[in-house]
Structure 1
Amino acid sequence: MKWSVPSFRRVAPLLVLALSACSNPSTTPLLVDSELGQPLANTQRSGENVLDRQRDLASKPPVQHRVTNSARGHAPAAVKARNPLGDQPVQLNFVDADIQAVVRALSRATGQQFLVDPRVKGNLTLVSEGQVPAHQAYDMLLAALRMQGFSVVDVGGVAQVVPEADAKLLGGPIYSAGSSGMQTRTFRLQYENAVNLIPVLRPIVSPNNPINAYPGNNSIVITDYAENLARVAQIISGIDTPSAIDTDVVMVQNGIAVDIAAMVSELLETQGADQTQKINVIGDPRSNSIIIRSGSPERTELARNLIYKLDNAQSNPSNMHVVYLRNAQASKLAQSLRGLLTGESDSGVSDDARGKLSAMGGNGKNTQGTSNAQNSSGTPTGSGVQSGYGQTTGSTPSTSGTSTENQDTAFSAGGVTIQADATTNTLLISAPDPLYRNLREVIDMLDQRRAQVVIESLIVEVGEDDATEFGVQWQAGNLAGKGGFGGVNLGGSGVNSTPTSKTSIDVLPKGLNVGLVNGTVDIPGIGKVLDLKVLARALKSKGGTNVLSTPNLLTLDNEAASIFVGQTIPFVTGSYVTGGGGTSNNPFQTVQREEVGLKLNVRPQISEGGTVKLDIYQEVSTVDTRASVDAGTVTNKRAIDTSILLDDGQIMVLGGLLQDGYSQSNDAVPWLSDIPGLGALFRNEKRSVNKTNLMVFLRPYIIRDSGAGRSITLNRYEFMRRAQGGLQPEHSWAMPDVQAPQLPSVEKAIPGAPRAVIRAVPVSGGAQR
């Protein structure tokens, strides 16, 4: 319904009359037509003198405004400060009225300044059955506007009516108790995660209003209506509570805390997802106590009672004990306890890992003798192989650098007898109970799961070679009867002088070869060969290499490990002839085999701070196919032997080689090559440029549990599976399709992680685990 200005002026007094109805009509102020065009805050009431108003205002005491730390003045306080009518009750009777007209009328009744956005248009119905206070009428207006998609934001004492989507962009007040309208509130959580709580609160907040999480201080910022913010605050206070965790420490008087904790943990372990039923029972060998952590006090009490029942004194105590080791090796641990009790170090025990590291710089060469005889009878043969770590094996007696002696794992000292059983990985201990308790504390501390280290090495080599060669060869002669023969051979073998190939030119060198041939020449003792007058040769060669090797190695903490990928190539080191009796001779050659490829030897040591100390020997060797000498094959070898300290997951460059070389060689005929201009026909020049860039990088990863190891394994597994999938044979119409082998999927290949269960095995005679 559209109203014109004259019609609105006629019904305006009726609207004001409906709003200002009260029990004392004689004192109710009314709006007149002459006052509608004036500002609402400065409107003069009929029957009131201006001087009287000023005198009344001067006689009133000044209003004291209370300032809070996080809130500006809210709407009810502003109404009390500026409302000329106070809380005088009014009656609302707006049926399908224009929004702006209703706002102007309520501004007069409440004394609140309003600023209406031009986009706020429409009609609303605001009706009250009886008289309501002015501040309640104001709240009813806010609710009615909210249902129409509009919001009221109090900015500097002025209520701005804007579309709800724009309310969050205005400088509205921060939340304070008792306020109304659109506000912003910050909730700082103490126990729950703010990011995880956003999906829970998002459906409760109005769709057009924002809700954000700040992980920096674990807070949530919400802009919404004050009533809804109060409801959100109650929900957050109910969720942000400490989890029901109950802990207790139980001292063990008679038994061993670690043994009792293992049995109690197995008995109370549950597979359900209920957090209140989960319980952790851990034994502390230092104080011989048991720590209980559960989700409910009832579960804690159950574990405490079970510990008390198991911690009973034995009726027939025995000094014989059996200790089952979980991680340590029984023989090595027995040697450590021997040194502890006797104060003597075991110098006879050899460390295989240390022997490997000491041989890191070795060539790993194998020596083998071979014999080629003219007949099978009376042929002496012999063989001997030496391994890369100093161990010699063969048909002849051998010695071993890493001999494994039968170490004595049983000893007695100070009234204690300890025997290590390697088959069951247990320690048999005979000791008095007080001394056994002290030994058991040491054993439990040493029998800990050792971390592992995955070592990734990246070897990058980029090389470039560029060579240029130019030379001229001459040959002349007349040997029909008697005559002379001569020639110049620079940079090539020229004419082949073998009797079996008299009329052929030797295999010409690479490059451009231009020559002049004039029949044949008969050389005494050789025969006829081609009469090569002149041969010019020009060659330019260019090559490059780009090699990336990524060896990976997994080993235990403080254990040496090695990996080698390559070949063993035989090298002839000598040859001689032995007499075989009579007139037969046996030629004999000695051959040395050398490992050529990639070799990585490493020993990691993990510190308490998470850093890893690495003793590394890394070698990369290749066969140089471009270099050929009379002695045999040429190999290129690059090795690094160093110790470094890295953080977990840190990548570090170990070292490298940056080489830039230039070489030049000239072969020339004396005197003739010095002739200006013509001397180039009697020279052979060769120039070459080579560049080599080699870098070695290393990165260690510490694996402390099965989850981390499984993650790395699955990563490598999927990488190899994708690589196999890319090398499947293509479809062929002439041949049947063949499926290349491929790794199965992870779900089929790797079963789920089994649940580790340690079962208590009763031992007769008072033996304990």
Structure 2
Amino acid sequence: MGMFCSSPALAAGKGVVLNFNEVDISTMVKFISDLTGKNFILDDRVKGKISVYSPAKLSNEEAYNVFVSVLELKGFTVVQSGKVAKIVPSASARQSGFKLFPEGETLPVNESYVAQVTKLENISAQEALVFLQPMISKDGHISAFGPGNLILMVDSSLNIRKLHEILQTIDSERTREGLEIIYLKNASAESVATTIRQWLTGSESKPAGPAAAAAAAAGTGAGSVLADQRLNALLVFGSDKTKNAVRELVAKLDVASPEASSKVNVYYLENTDATEMAKVLDGVVKGMTAQAAAQPGAAASQASPLDSGKVTITADKTSNSLVIMASPNDYSNLSQVIKKLDRRSKQVFVQVVIAEVSLDKSRALGVQAGAVAAGALGKYLQGGGMYDPFGTFNSVLSNSAITALVGDKLKDTTRPVTGVALLQALDKNGLVNILSTPNILTSDNKEAEINVGENVPFQGSATQSTIGTTTSVERKDIGINLKIKPQISEGDYIRMDINQEISAVKNDKGQAIDLVTTKRSTKTSIIVKDKETVVIGGLIQDTEDENIQKVPFFGDIPGLGWLFKTKTKTRRKTNLMILLTPRIVKDAEDLTSVSADQRLKFGESAKKVEPVDVQKEISGK
């Protein structure tokens, strides 16, 4: 059992955009608790992942109502118990306690589990029970108390509100003459009800035949027609004569429209992929069909807004369109869904710097022959044998920011930085090796991949035969591979799933025999704000090298040979770092700005002078 307490500071927001993709229910509960100031207790059985997308800002109350509706779709509900709201499976909500609303008190406009007792004045509670029973959800409950002529309803707040609207109509003097439900197959219940009311009240030209009988009955105040959009049905009250007349009118009105003869429709998509959209819509149709099949009684055939088994959706890749075979009513419902899904997604431009930050420790023994300018000799000897032409090696290493980046603090962690000025400082002192600086633009929630390297041959197994030896060769990709999948969330934060691998051939001799490869990889998920930089490090590699330089013959003389040769041992510690700076591209203006920045940087790079010639720097010429 989990409990989440509210955070009053977050509950006073002016608007929120819900954008959750496959997050745990507990995560969204914590978010809603902080947003609304409500306290929640989670049943141990409340598990799973949910997705919510809201392009427009919602108030705190609207966000809470959406949250409760999402829980209802997953088979859970909210039960208010004092100052705490319990989230439990809908099937066991009745055993978890619920808030009882007195008659006349306004019910919340959401899917939370509540109860209300209503006293009937004109019809018996048992009659109302038989009529309302098919409209109760499968996890709801309705019962009648005869002596007090009371009805107890336990269900989602929204459903009880609808049932009350029906009770207000049927619990009147007119309903004593009976009530009938007429289910529609082709036409909209609201449209047919409006037409019949016009005939019954005589607001249009005088009817003839069945309509005349219905109008005559309406003239005495004995007829009434209500539309139930959830069931796509008509609720008809009145005498048998009125109901017969309405029934005949419905038979003439509930027919396929003239355009229904051509049920094939083509919907051209503007932003999304037709194949992916077809998969989503196919799931919607199947879900509606399953929901309709689960409804008890006569309501089963009318519970779904789509005609079960009569909708087919095919994607055409060439034109990026959907070919939909459905009735006009079904196509209208699907079109509304498509319009909401077929929207232009945002993009993310990611600047990446992959670099190796290295520190060398060298020990040299002996004398190296050669002519070196006196003024430049100190440049070689500073820093324990490391070439440091500007004399800033020690000052750079003493910087606390450098220590934080190349020291132990970076192991297995990520640290945000303000930019790449640090790498530039290291680069000037020969401490950094920039491996790659790729930039990539990708759509929100779409994976992008950068691969820079070469295809290297590796010698495989050898097979002996009568004609000789055959050796197989296997080729492998060696180099830098980076996969990034960005996902934009609320507040211009970006979650990035990163999978990076750097491989290389160790001591490459130019042959495919006995090749040894090294590989450094990292796989992580980070969250960073728009236009901020995050650095990932900690992939440290230690290498030791020994090098002997000598004068031929003289360097081999025992004892005296050290006067003519130099032995150098170098220990190198290399820390691989990845710096990523994502930028959200919301529209064409942002894309133009990004492109202009890249063109400017390219132009500046092209104008740079050639690298400094080290030999000229040493000789002073």
Bigger Rg over Cα: 1
Q: TM-score, normalised by structure 1?
A: 0.31
